[in-house]
Structures are given as structure tokens and as C-alpha cells.
Amino acid sequence: MAYDNLDIKVRKGVLILTINREKALNALNQKTIEELTHFFSVSAPRRKKIKGIVLTGAGEKAFVAGADIKEFLTVKEGEGSDFAQRGQDVFFMIENFPKPVIAAVNGFALGGGCELAMACHMRIAGAQARFGQPEVNLGIIPGYGGTQRLVQLIGKGKAMELILTGDMIGAEEAHRLGLANHVVPVGEEVAKAREIIEKIATKGPVAVSQAIKCVNAYYDKLVDGFAYEVKLFGTTTDTADFREGATAFVERRPAEFKGE
Ligand code: CAA
């Protein structure tokens, strides 16, 4: 399927997914949410050979400046929860994607943009990046998971402050708080994200996918994360990859994993 607002490039096995609405600072309108949903539910799972996904925004100014406020104004009374649910559904797909998804935050990551970055497995912030949940300025609250994932990443006190004041923070503070994994010079966000994906691609693919599930399970109130880890540890020890990884260690050679 051709997308209007998503740009897809695959380089050396790493897929670069760019939200492409530069004139609106890559704001997420419903069409973009629909396209992201199709991409993560249909297109990305079919691309068996990709090592991971770097998610970024077009241009030099913004990663994503939030939900599209102009379009949001047309949401009718009683429709707000459905609007939020559609965004949350696709953000869960990103969070649970079995290969690494890394946000290359190349500018403003506000509202739904900060929430999109937080749904990714990691965030690389360019030195110019600005993060924030400014929804209270509009008289609404974050609706794409911000009240939950910001607490998970930076703790309740600071999350409460950012969400209640609507203040933006820069890349260094985001890094200090644990929101950004790394800060890099402007323009090097995608390269750093690629570098991490390349490193992960040398590991056992089944182990990587099971580790993503287990880390996410910590935040699932219906799942006993320790019991889940025991179960998935058992699935990894039953793989050919485990035999290969352990044998390669003993033979002092690099492992050649097949993802089986
Ligand atoms: N939705 C729609 N259009 C947006 C937008 C958004 N979230 N953010 C920016 N734009 C548009 C502007 O309207 C402008 O378009 P026009 O030239 O056609 O008017 C263009 O992008 C450039 O923006 P600015 O002129 O405002 O650029 P700036 O440098 O002066 O300011 C900014 C940049 C601080 C990011 C500012 O644009 C801004 O505050 N944007 C809104 C951020 C926001 O409130 N995000 C939260 C949205 S609600 C949400 O996301 C809810 C949720 O949780 C799901």
C-alpha cells in the first residue's frame, strides 16, 4: 500500500519510517494514524528480513508536534474517547513490535509526538529536541498514553509536573530524566538509532523478541512479570539459536543466529 504521510526506506536491512507532514510539523492527523496502523499491523510484520525500525519526522524542526489540533477541533461531542483509542491501539502495536523500534527525535516531540516517541523501545534525541505534553494548554489531557508512559519512564513526580504545567524540556534534561537514551549532535539521530539496531541484529532474534515482551510485561497489571519471564526463558532455551549461541561461546567464534 502506498502511504500519503509515511515515507519508507530500507537501508542495509534497517527500515527508516518518516512521518511526512512537514508543513504541519508532522502532526498526527487521522489519516496518519490509519497509515501507521496499516504499516504496523500489515506491512511491517510481512517484512521478515528487516533488522528493526527507526521512526523519525520529516524536516529539521519537528519529530511530531502532536495530534493535529486543527483536525481535532472537528471532533464532535462524545467522539473524543474513540479518537484517543485509535491512537493508543497503534502505539501498543509499536510497543509490542518484535524487533527494535527506535525514535530518532529530530526536533519537537510534543503531545502525541512525545507519546509516539515513548511507545518506541528507545529514544535518540538530537541536541535540538524538545519534549513535552502541552495538552493542558488546549484544555485536554494526553490521550495517546502519555499519562502512563511518562510515569513509567521518568517517575510520577516529574511526569506530574510536565503534564500539569505543559512545560517543554530539552534533550539534555530528557536524557537526565531517562526519557532519552542518548543525546547526539543535530542530524545524527537516525545514524545513532541505526547503530543500535545493527548491534541488536547480531544477537539472537528470538531472544530479542522475547526480551521485548518480558520488559513490557512489567507494566501490564494483569501479568505476573516474573512468571512470564520464567515461561519465555523456557521458550528461548528450546531454540536452535540458544544451541548456536552457547556453542559459539565455547568455540570462541561469533554466533550465526537463524532466528529459530
Ligand atoms: N497540529 C496541527 N498543526 C500544527 C501542530 C499541531 N499539533 N503543530 C504545529 N502545527 C502547524 C502550525 O499550525 C503551523 O501551520 P501554519 O503555518 O499553516 O499555521 C506550522 O505547523 C508551523 O507551526 P508554528 O508556526 O506554530 O511553529 P513555531 O515554531 O512557532 O512553534 C511549536 C512550534 C512550539 C511546536 C508550535 O507549533 C506548537 O505549540 N504546536 C502545538 C503543540 C501541541 O500543543 N501539541 C499537542 C497536540 S494535542 C495532542 O497531541 C493530544 C494527544 O495527546 C493525542
Q: Which of 223, 224, 242 minimizes the C-alpha distance to 234?
A: 242
| Average pLDDT taken over every residue of the chain | 97
- Average pLDDT on 122-135 reads 98
Q: Which of 67, 74, 164 minimizes the C-alpha distance to 112?
A: 67
Assess whether the C-beta atom of 68 lies below 6 angstroms from ligand 1.
yes
- Average pLDDT on 201-227 reads 97
Distance in Å, CA 25 to ligand 1 centroid: 6
Assess whether the C-beta atom of 64 lies below 6 angstroms from ligand 1.
no
Supply the pLDDT for residue 1.
Answer: 80
**Span 145-189, pLDDT tens digits:** 999 999 999 999 999 999 999 999 999 999 999 999 999 999 999
Best substitution site from 25, 30, 133, 137 to test ligand 1's pocket, by max atoms within 8 Å of Cβ? 25
Supply the pLDDT for residue 151.
Answer: 98
Which atom of ligand 1 lies closest to the CA of 62?
Answer: 35
CA distance 41 to 39: 6
Distance in Å, CA 65 to ligand 1 centroid: 5
Distance in Å, CA 192 to ligand 1 centroid: 27
- Average pLDDT on 21-35 reads 98
Judge if pTM exceeds 0.85. yes
DSSP string, 127-139: TT-EEE-GGGGGT
Give the pLDDT band of residue 253 (cuts 50, 70, 90): very high
Give the pLDDT band of residue 224 (cuts 50, 70, 90): very high
Q: Is 50 helix (H, G, I), strand (E, B) or coil?
A: coil
Assess whether the C-beta atom of 19 lies below 6 angstroms from ligand 1.
no
Assess whether the C-beta atom of 110 lies below 6 angstroms from ligand 1.
yes
Q: Atom 8 of ligand 1 has which residue's CA nearest to it?
A: 65
Assess whether the C-beta atom of 108 lies below 6 angstroms from ligand 1.
yes
Which atom of ligand 1 lies closest to the CA of 146?
Answer: 53
> Is the pLDDT assigned to residue 200 strictly greater than 90?
yes
Q: Atom 6 of ligand 1 has which residue's CA nearest to it?
A: 68
**Catalytic residue numbers?**
115, 135
Assess whether the C-beta atom of 97 lies below 6 angstroms from ligand 1.
no
The secondary structure element, H or E, covering residue 122 is strand 122-126
**Span 65-122, pLDDT tens digits:** 999 999 989 989 999 999 999 999 999 999 999 999 999 999 999 999 999 999 999 9
Return the bridge partners of 182, or none: 124
> Is the pLDDT assigned to residue 50 strictly greater than 90?
yes
Supply the pLDDT for residue 136.
Answer: 98
